Amino acid sequence: MARGILKLQWHDGNQIELLQNGGQFFPALCAAIDAARASVHLETYIFKLDRTGLEVLEHLRLACERGVKVRVALDGFGSFEYVDELMQRLTSMGAMCRVYRPEPRGIDFYRFSLRRLRRLHRKVTVVDGQVAFVGGINIIDDLDDVPNDGKGPRPRFDFAVSVRGPIVPQIDSEQNLLWLRMAPKQGNDMQRTYQRVRHWFLRRQRSLSEHAQVFVPGVRAAFLLRDNLRFRQTIENVYLRGIETASGDILIANAYFFPGMRLRRALEQAARRGVRVRLLLQGRSEYALQFRASRSMYGKLLDDGIEVYEYMASYLHAKVAVIDDAATVGSSNLDPFSLLLAREANVFVKDAGFAQELKAAIEAETAANANRVTLASLQKRGLLGRAIDSTAYFLLRVGVSLTGKSSEY
């Protein structure tokens, strides 16, 4: 899809609340589940049976007891450690559970397949078809497996949004379509059945959107997907269009930053025409290869006039951006996994007030808990550190070549 004719399904009159970290997200999510009357549909990459995961399960159990239809979609890799127990717990309480691309067992577990890299990475919940939650926060405790520098563990830095209004039927419809795709395959007529049901869902979505509650004042928003069928480059193209047309400010907070050449060039050109471009990236190594590969690009980014900051308080898990008066919150990183392989979901908001709220939250965290990267600080990392970074960059590019997209990176 050419960016010049990028078409999005916009919805006006939405109410969107920014939720920072699990401390705001999980109480809002559990309150919505407690208020559910008809349905709860939850999708997540990681569902961990820690304190927070068990609490969410308890709220889902109580919903089932009230007669609410509960569906949970898990990723087979992200939730691998707990998937069997989760399936057992959910089905025993009366919920339905499906696993996206279950991991193979036995000797097959050790065999590489590109299909195993195509994961359900989005984090989306819809309650009663009326309220949706979209963001980057998995079902995992904020303080689980985070670094402790002696001051006590601090939560992952992440965001989600709570959404009401005309955009929710589209989110609900997309969940239903994926749930249908995840159904056990029976017979040779499954594709034809899927297409018939898909058209029914789309007609139903349009009808529900027309009759959904409209908030005044409300905000304009679009639901962005990335998959391997209809929406291969939608999220990337929205980023590109925003960066290419930015006139004042670009602020990106992204956990795994390894963008392709188009995004890198767009950021470079934006900085050259006078736009202030700031990146808040990982300062703590959670996954060494991605962390080091991202660092290898810092010198070029600084030469291009882009400001780079490393988040030091805990793990940075956010996937958000503010570009002038628009903002995006969701699950998509700017790396090959998110942009080439995984199923992702973002909410794109065109509203100056929301954009300013998100911008202020990122700036406050940057001022309090981030270090600015300079050419001098890069030199202090020494030849060995820079060599390791360059090796990680090379290895990640080799990994990208397996997707057939190496020329884009």
Q: What is the pLDDT of residue 37?
A: 97
What is the DSSP secondary-structure string of 87-122? HHHHHHTT-EEEEESPPP-GGGGGS--GGGG--B--
CATH code that applies to domain 222-404:
3.30.870.10
- CB atoms inside a 10 Å sphere around CB 384: 8
Q: Work out the average pLDDT over 58-84.
A: 97
Residue 48 and residue 45: Cα distance in Å, rounded?
10
Residue type, 166: P
Q: By mean pLDDT, which of 86-95, 142-151, 160-169, 213-222 is the weakest?
A: 142-151
Q: By mean pLDDT, which of 133-142, 157-166, 179-188, 367-376 is the weakest?
A: 179-188
Whether the predicted pLDDT of 192 surpasses 80: no
Enzyme catalytic residues: 121, 123, 128, 317, 319, 324
Residue spans of the domains in the chain: they are 10-221, 222-404
Q: What is the pLDDT of residue 191?
A: 61
- Considering the chain, what percentage of its residues have pLDDT values greater than 90? 78
Q: By mean pLDDT, which of 150-159, 165-174, 376-385 is the weakest?
A: 376-385
Residue type, 324: D
Does CATH number 3.30.870.10 belong to domain 10-221?
yes
Q: What is the pLDDT of residue 180?
A: 92
Whether the predicted pLDDT of 260 surpasses 70: yes
Tokens for 212, please give them.
């959904």
Q: Work out the average pLDDT over 146-161.
A: 92
Whether the predicted pLDDT of 133 surpasses 50: yes
Q: Across the chain, what does the average pLDDT equal?
A: 91
Whether the predicted pLDDT of 100 surpasses 50: yes
Q: Work out the average pLDDT over 137-157.
A: 92
Residue 316: band (very low, low, confident or very high) from pLDDT cuts 50, 70, 90: very high
Q: Work out the average pLDDT over 50-57.
A: 98
Whether the predicted pLDDT of 4 surpasses 50: no
Nearest to 118 by CA among 345, 404, 342, 400: 342
Residue 134 and residue 223: Cα distance in Å, rounded?
9
Q: What is the pLDDT of residue 29?
A: 98
Q: Length of the chain in residues, anyone?
A: 409
Q: Assign 3-class secondary structure to 210-228.
A: HHCCCCCCCEEEEEEEECC
- Cα-Cα-Cα-Cα torsion 118, 405, 287, 240, nearest 10 degrees, comes to -100
Residue type, 207: S
pTM for the full predicted model: 0.93
- CB atoms inside a 10 Å sphere around CB 211: 9
Higher pLDDT among residues 408 and 373, named by residue: 373
Residue 195: band (very low, low, confident or very high) from pLDDT cuts 50, 70, 90: low
Phi and psi at residue 60, to the nearest 5°: -65, -40
Q: Work out the average pLDDT over 73-102.
A: 96
Residue reference for tokens 């960066």: 243
Residue 319 and residue 333: Cα distance in Å, rounded?
6
Cβ burial of 375 (10 Å; 0-12, 13-18, 19+) is exposed
Helix (H) or strand (E) holding 268: helix 261-272
Q: By mean pLDDT, which of 30-39, 50-59, 378-387 is the weakest?
A: 378-387
Q: β-strands 219-226, 10-20: how paired?
A: antiparallel
Q: What is the pLDDT of residue 369?
A: 96
Q: What are the residues whose beta carbons fall under 8 Å from the beta carbon of 3, sequence distance 6 or more?
A: 237, 240, 241, 244
10-221 against 222-404: fold identical:
yes
Residue reference for tokens 């499954």: 190
Q: What are the residues whose beta carbons fall under 8 Å from the beta carbon of 321, sequence distance 6 or more?
A: 239, 242, 250, 251, 252, 253, 254, 327, 328
Give tens-digit pLDDT for 326-340: 999 999 999 999 999
Q: What is the pLDDT of residue 56?
A: 98
Whether the predicted pLDDT of 208 surpasses 80: no
